[in-house]
Structure 1
């Protein structure tokens, strides 16, 4: 296998070293960190067909609105 010599800063070396596992070489670490096996678009739209999500989000918003209104009323009445 051919090799290349790279010059990196101390900071870059320390960052890379912090990701290195005990059983890995630096080459293994660089390869592991730069692999792109996952499709970054895979998760987009995952909740689009989930009717329960819309309902739960609405309830959460209502709960937060109610809590905000209660705090505002308490502060107004304390003045």
Structure 2
């Protein structure tokens, strides 16, 4: 079973920009729709782990 959807030219161009050479548009939509949000991983780290991670990121940002 399949469904048809309408896209504006702009939406089509944006979708096409994400398309890989070996992908169909169906595969692009499924790949992009399957991406996880950062909210999906909220709470994964303990308070201690998140503190260490913040420190590491901050140190890396300060490097030239």
Which TM-score tier does this pair reach, normalised by the shorter chain? Answer: 0.5 to 0.7
Q: Corresponding residue for 1:7?
A: 6
Task: Name the CA distance, whole Å, in 1 between partners of 2:21 and 2:40.
Answer: 32
Q: Corresponding residue for 1:67?
A: none
Q: Pick 1 or 2: higher relative contact order, CA cutoff 8 A, min separation 6.
A: 2
Task: Name the CA distance, whole Å, in 1 between partners of 2:39 and 2:7.
Answer: 29
TM-score, length basis structure 1: 0.50
TM-score, length basis structure 2: 0.59
Task: Name the CA distance, whole Å, in 2 between partners of 1:36 and 1:15.
Answer: 16
Task: Name the CA distance, whole Å, in 2 between partners of 1:45 and 1:4.
Answer: 36
Flag structure 1 segments of 5+ consecutive residues without an equivalent.
Answer: 61-79
Larger radius of gyration: 1
- Considering only aligned residues, what root-mean-square deviation do their CA atoms show, in Å? 3.0
1:9–1:46 CA distance, 2 compared to 1 (3 A) = same
Flag structure 2 segments of 5+ consecutive residues without an equivalent.
Answer: 60-64
